[in-house]
Structure 1
Amino acid sequence: MGYVTSLFARKVVAAAGSGVNTAEVLSSVGIDPDGPWNPRQMIPAEHYYDMLERIADQIDVTDLPVRTGASMQLDQYGALGLAFKAATTLRASYARVERYARLWTSVVEYELRPATGGTLFILHRTGERRLGMRLSNEATLASAVSIARQVCPVPLTPMEVLVRHPAPRTIAAHEEWFGCPVRFEAELDAILYSDETLARSNILGDKGISQYLTTHLDAEMAEITQEPALIRQAKAAIAQALSEGAPKMAKIARILGLSVRSFHRRLSEYGINFQALTEETRRDLAEGLLRDESHSLAEIAFLTGFSEQSAFTRAFKRWVGTTPATYRKDISHR
């Protein structure tokens, strides 16, 4: 199961304004509406998408992603926000995001990629492109431009913004805020910048402070990427049992030497349930097996606990947003 920082949820709800019940919406995703804004408090990504879709049932969300992105402030991102400010150029700032985004989300990766006429800052997110994800992607792109404008010494305008999903009913607010063409149904979710823009010195860029902050961020990254021993052991046990079908919680608890009740409680302490852990294990195992050409799709379906290849294909498309065959073809060309 993927997670995102609660900061994003709070910002969306604030941008939605009086059209939604703030306390009710935040509580629905486990956020105390009266508690402090803590970017390190994480919520499941699927719950975040659910929340966005509930908001869409109550108000017109056409320009909500832009308003949300425009409200993002670097000071609210903790050490990563400070590192973004202290980087010497905008390219270096975005390189911090590319390297350390795992501190605020486990469902998005970023990439700086040379392109014709400049450089793309790309947002990579897999999964079904449901409404909640589409709104989140638009808000993320707007946020990326908003924080760049906070460090740039002159007015900043991208060359173009690319969005993979279809356009909303109007894109006037998007193009007005970005200040450039916004092209929907593109091949990527990305922002195209001129190399001149990315090379420009930041207002508060400081090489020494930047190095100090990146050392701190490296320590934070090491802390969050160390998966708890119980989770590692449970995933290994699930992976071993999958060839006999999706395992029962009681069986995995027994392998680990725990009662079902204790196993459930300890998983809850890490913010995950057994069903989600099994899904995550199946997905990780499937992606790994697809990188090995010696396994047929039918074999991979069996090894990940599916009785039929068609069921595996449907599940994989739900997880990643594409079929196993297409996924295997794409990674072979990377």
Structure 2
Amino acid sequence: MDHADFDLWDTANQRFVSRSTETYSKMGYVTSLFARKVVAAAGDAVDGAELLRSAGVDPDSSWDPKVMLPDGTYYDLLERIATLIDVTDLPLRTGASMRLDEYGALGLAFKAATTLGGSYARVERYARLWTSVVEYELRPVPMGTLFILHRAGERRLGLRLSNEATLASAISLARQVSPVPVTPLQVFLRHGVPGSFAAHEAWFGCPVRFDAKLDAILFSPETLAQPNILGDEGISKYLVSHLDAELNEIAEDVTLVSRARDTIAQALNEGSPRMKDIARYLGVSARSFHRRLSEHGVSFHTLTEETRRDLAVGLLRDKRHSLAEIAFLTGFAEQSSFTRAFKRWVGQTPASYRRGHADL
């Protein structure tokens, strides 16, 4: 997240005033499926239910990939797990656990594409259905085609682990549709070498290059031309039309939710905002606002809590702001109330979180 710019004290009115919420407003979304998968991959060494609750995911609810969570919350989850266990191969285990059947129509479209290259082309076009923070690109190069993962943001530990898991899942899904083993030519990762990367090369079956200029998988032309087991042109066309419709709906709803988050963030220094006031500002009725949030798998209360949490996390990473200032800017009348809420959200006090992320 980018650093925010705040005029923290309004002398005339004797109060703190937020001049910008850039720290929060560039936040994106990922499917809660990823959070559930990474917690499951971490195994019994962690309290999975508690970790999911800290990320705003009900551990007892059904696994719905359309239920989203903020990307910063997902990265926090990964970083919390990293304090509990060795996460060197956690992204690989997470990626290996991904199943096409869990992706709904997108998973079916991946299967129904006639070639593996066609499957990845579906990912390139429809990735927005499960994340707003990653874009994919198929780029021809002399040796074959690069399947590139584009993800903006601070190269924090959570993001780096997420990138590894994403590329590992790309191979896992390919191996589920191909009649022959899928082995890329090379894998590239922008971040530095972990303590050991033998597990990475064993999983991908090829050299893994760290400190690269991009995050990507290099495939040979023969691999991408390989026919899929269940490829079917007729079914594929039907599914693509369905995905196009979903993509249009998601684009509208994500825009509304994103605007709502920004509006809530701007209103927090006046206390807890009311749904009808936010709806009025967005130009929709309270009833329509409630319905559209529900369709996106989120309530106004949850949206407000997530906004508070992620704004607080972003501000805590900016050392210019005291805890009292952050408490005010996130809608708390007292610092003690902020401390209790933050500990409930992420399992740490604000001061502990700030110390633990000093070097990230």
The TM-score, its normalising length taken from structure 1, stands at 0.73
Distance in 1 separating the partners of 2:67 and 2:256: 21
Q: Which amino acid aligns with 2:126?
A: Y
1:153 to 147, 154, 179: 179
* Secondary structure at 2:252 match in 1: coil
Q: 1:77 to 1:255 in 2, by over 3 A?
A: closer
Task: Give CA deviations for 1:275-308 in whole Å, capped at 9, x if unaligned.
Answer: 959x99xxxxxxxxxxxxxxxxxxxxxxxxxxxx
Q: Is the 8 A contact 1:84 1:94 kept in 2?
A: yes
Q: CA deviation at 1:115?
A: 1.2
Q: 1:20 to 1:195 in 2, by over 3 A?
A: same
The answer on 1:47 being equivalent to 2:70 is: no
The answer on 1:117 being equivalent to 2:117 is: no
Distance in 1 separating the partners of 2:33 and 2:261: 29
Task: Give CA deviations for 1:15-55 in whole Å, capped at 9, x if unaligned.
Answer: 10011001111111111112211111111111110000010
Q: What is the match of residue 85 of structure 2? A: 59
Distance in 2 separating the partners of 1:36 and 1:231: 22
Distance in 2 separating the partners of 1:14 and 1:236: 32
Q: Is the 8 A contact 1:234 1:256 kept in 2?
A: no
Distance in 2 separating the partners of 1:132 and 1:156: 27
Q: Which amino acid aligns with 1:73?
A: R
Report sequence identity in percent: 65
Q: What is the match of residue 28 of structure 1? A: 54
Q: What is the match of residue 269 of structure 1? A: 300
Q: Is the 8 A contact 1:74 1:147 kept in 2?
A: yes
Q: What is the match of residue 204 of structure 1? A: 230
Q: What is the match of residue 181 of structure 1? A: 207
Task: Give CA deviations for 1:142-199 in whole Å, capped at 9, x if unaligned.
Answer: 0001000111110110000000011110000000010000001100000000011101
Q: What is the match of residue 10 of structure 2? A: none
1:80 to 106, 118, 132: 106
* Secondary structure at 1:226 match in 2: helix
Q: Is the 8 A contact 1:72 1:146 kept in 2?
A: yes
Q: What is the match of residue 138 of structure 1? A: 164
The answer on 1:96 being equivalent to 2:127 is: no
Q: Is the 8 A contact 1:65 1:138 kept in 2?
A: yes
Q: Which amino acid aligns with 2:38?
A: V
* Secondary structure at 1:76 match in 2: helix
Unaligned runs of 5+ in 1: 239-245, 281-334
Q: Which amino acid aligns with 1:45?
A: D
Distance in 1 separating the partners of 2:185 and 2:253: 40
The answer on 1:37 being equivalent to 2:63 is: yes
1:168 to 194, 197, 207: 194
Q: Is the 8 A contact 2:260 2:278 kept in 1?
A: no
Unaligned runs of 5+ in 2: 1-26, 294-298, 312-360
Q: CA deviation at 1:116?
A: 2.2
Q: What is the match of residue 240 of structure 2? A: 214
* Secondary structure at 1:46 match in 2: helix
Q: CA deviation at 1:235?
A: 9.3
RMSD over aligned CA atoms reads 3.1
The TM-score, its normalising length taken from structure 2, stands at 0.68
Q: CA deviation at 1:269?
A: 2.4
Q: 1:67 to 1:248 in 2, by over 3 A?
A: closer
* Secondary structure at 1:114 match in 2: strand
Q: Is the 8 A contact 1:2 1:44 kept in 2?
A: yes
Q: CA deviation at 1:78?
A: 0.7
Q: Is the 8 A contact 1:108 1:123 kept in 2?
A: yes
TM superposition outliers: structure 1 runs of 4+ over 2 Å: 227-238, 246-250, 252-258, 265-277
Q: What is the match of residue 221 of structure 2? A: 195
Q: What is the match of residue 71 of structure 1? A: 97
Q: Is the 8 A contact 1:68 1:143 kept in 2?
A: yes
The answer on 1:5 being equivalent to 2:31 is: yes
* Secondary structure at 1:225 match in 2: helix
Q: 1:134 to 1:196 in 2, by over 3 A?
A: same
Task: Give CA deviations for 1:192-228 in whole Å, capped at 9, x if unaligned.
Answer: 0001110111000000000011111111111111148
Q: 1:84 to 1:106 in 2, by over 3 A?
A: same
Aligned residue pairs: how many? Answer: 268
